[in-house]
Chains A and B, each alone.
Chain A
Amino acid sequence: MSRLTLVVVAVTVAGVTTPLGWGHAADLAPRDTAAVGRAGDWSLGVAAPLRYAARDGVELQAHPLLFLVAPNLLVRVAHGVALGWQLAGEYGASLPTPAMRLAQGYVFPTWDKSARRVGWFVVPRAGVVASHLGPANSVLTLRLDAAYGFGLSRNDATPLESAAPLDVLLAPALSRYRIRCGVTHDVSISERVRVRAAANVYLHGAQPSPITFAAGVGVDIGVGERSRLVLGASYWNSDTGAIDLATHEHVRSNDFFPSLDFIWAG
């Protein structure tokens, strides 16, 4: 796999909402919820991560395509129900440096005449997800998570200030931290079709602005018993250093990204 293929995958992963939860009823189950699978449940998408329930209420999650160059693991743990909200905790870590070094010469400098380098980072991440079952099998999900980039060596790489999904993905390593606060509403419109809307606010180190907004809509179409085709689009509002060329005034960037995935589940 080439280095830029990995970048493409990273962008796609960031642009697609993470698949969460799977159903055990006839209806297509909602995603991105606090539901944690039963032992043996699994799912895997092209861009969506591999998820495997090691035992009831505990899932392991990783992006297989990125794993070899950016080792990553997330553990999702069911934390019960409070006031009608199902709760789950997410705890994980990633090591983005190998992928970043593979991208040197393209999105990062080579630095072949000095001691400058892309540093080693470990990025722990923790978050909480809360979901509430509403009318007509709809699910409202709130999410708060944070990731921090601990530098293990000298680093000279700076934020890319390129496209918001990639910038947000690399924010903990390149601008120290990323905090996400999000809401998702997932509604069943038929047994095999669900629609969803999501909004997220990201706080991160300056790149140049410390805040990024994202919103998206999508539709999940059931295929077979548990698999699904996932179509969507997301809107990102971020600061990539753009200016209005007519006035030379600083402006934020507005970008739309389509998403397409197929998630196998069992």
Chain B
Amino acid sequence: MRACLIVLLFVVSATGCEPVYTTWDARESFPVFVKAGAASPAAPAPLALKVMTWNVKYGAGRIDFWFDLWGDRTEMTLPEVEGNMAGIYALINDVQPDVLLTNEIEIDSKRSAYYDMVKGILDHTALQWAAYTPTWQSRFVPSEGVGRMNMGNCIFSRYPIVASERIAQADRTDQDPVTSAFYLHRAVGRAELEVGGRHVAVYTVHTEAYDQDRTNARQQAQILELVRAETLPFLLGGDLNALPPGTVKVADFNDEAPAALGTAFAQPPYHTDDLLPFYGELREAIDLARYGTTEAEQQRFYTHSVIGEGTIGANGEPGFWNRHLDYLFVRPPDAWRPGSTDVLQRRFDSGIQEEPIGLSDHCPVIGTWDVAAVAP
């Protein structure tokens, strides 16, 4: 079967103008998208930016897709995507971030009805600039009818983005060549913002979820090296698919489908020490003291659940946020404004009117980034 697939891919890729799957250089500049009529607002002094990170699950809301093993959907209708995205726009507008980091955002995928979510967010929110960097781009993914795919990370800003770059991350080594070619190629998106005459850097990351070879840890190490070399004040955020140090609940999650065990989509073990260097060198929006030391304390900061409240999970409980995977970091002397950071798990958290549990399998993390007057 694999040999036949290789023949098919060779025939198509050798002859078509558009490659069947896409590869990238180690570092590549990418275009910045600007809303028509965009104008840079006045920046506060001292400089502070309200920021938000959110894995938006390609606008699928709580539709159970095949790889989560709770359902078998492979694509959505356009009205479904439009409906889900309307909720995402509403929540973004509730928060009114200056900078928004998104993971799993799609611009041209069959499964999301070719809906351009980058353009959608620019059109429906106060955000004006967008730096999109793809991590999964194939003309046709020959698996479960996935078809055309263009998914990635995006940095949105109310302030001008003057540069956008895609920095390739290490690929998994535990896949055969064909699977690897059509699989995600994780990347760091780096954007440079001009805010009130200053330049700041923003990094968006989304590291591996299903690796059995510690690719996730290698990608984290690479991210750490990148930000250590950064000369500008920076924000680092996204879905790291890793638990904070000291997390009490690390296995037997309610949202793990029993059918996933033994498949390519089984949850690999978490290593709670992986993120210690991040917490040691940077400041997280939810620091470890606030995160707590008991499951009861920590669950207030969980950001992810594969299933929503309408699904009874493996432990017989309805779905709800059950682990913390999404992060916002800044580097001292930059800091988080006291009282500004939150995990938006529920309606009315930090004043939002939307119910996040129905909008994605992740909920947003927010905070106000106080940018120090002098760069380190």
Given contacts A4-B5, A240-B148, A248-B119, contact A255 B16 (CB under 8 A): yes
A180 to B173, CA, bound (A): 46
A4 to B145, CA, bound (A): 13
Q: Are A255 and B17 in contact (CB under 8 A)?
A: yes
Q: Does A208 contact B (CB under 8 A)?
A: yes
Q: Does B374 contact A (CB under 8 A)?
A: no
Q: Are B15 and A8 in contact (CB under 8 A)?
A: no
Q: Are B4 and A2 in contact (CB under 8 A)?
A: yes
- Least distance between A163 CB and chain B CB atoms (Å): 6
Q: Does B11 contact A (CB under 8 A)?
A: yes
Given contacts A107-B142, A107-B145, A161-B148, contact A241 B72 (CB under 8 A): no
Please give the number of chain A residues whose Cβ is less than 8 angstroms from any Cβ of chain B in the complex: 39
Q: Does B231 contact A (CB under 8 A)?
A: no
Q: Are A163 and B12 in contact (CB under 8 A)?
A: yes
A116 to B65, CA, bound (A): 13
Mark interface residues in B2-33 (1 if CB within 8 Å of A CB, else 0): 00110110011001111000000000000101
Please give the number of chain B residues whose Cβ is less than 8 angstroms from any Cβ of chain A in the complex: 36
- Least distance between B210 CB and chain A CB atoms (Å): 18
Q: Are A160 and B140 in contact (CB under 8 A)?
A: yes
Q: Does B174 contact A (CB under 8 A)?
A: no
- Least distance between A53 CB and chain B CB atoms (Å): 32
Q: Are B18 and A253 in contact (CB under 8 A)?
A: yes
Q: Are A246 and B18 in contact (CB under 8 A)?
A: no
Contact of A109 among B72, B116, B140, B150 (CB under 8 A): B72
Q: Are A8 and B7 in contact (CB under 8 A)?
A: yes
Contacts of A248 in B (CB 8 A): 33, 107-108, 116, 118-119
- Nearest chain A residue, comparing its CB with the CB of B119: A248
Q: Does B222 contact A (CB under 8 A)?
A: no
Q: Are A242 and B147 in contact (CB under 8 A)?
A: no
Contact of B17 among A4, A105, A243, A254 (CB under 8 A): A254
Q: Does A111 contact B (CB under 8 A)?
A: yes
Given contacts A4-B1, A4-B5, A107-B142, contact A242 B18 (CB under 8 A): yes
Given contacts A110-B72, A113-B72, A255-B15, contact A4 B8 (CB under 8 A): yes
- Nearest chain B residue, comparing its CB with the CB of A5: B4
Contacts of A163 in B (CB 8 A): 12, 16, 140
Chain B residues within 8 Å of A, Cβ to Cβ? 1, 4-5, 7-8, 11-12, 15-18, 31, 33, 66, 70-72, 74-75, 107-108, 110, 114, 116, 118-119, 134, 139-140, 142-145, 147-148, 150
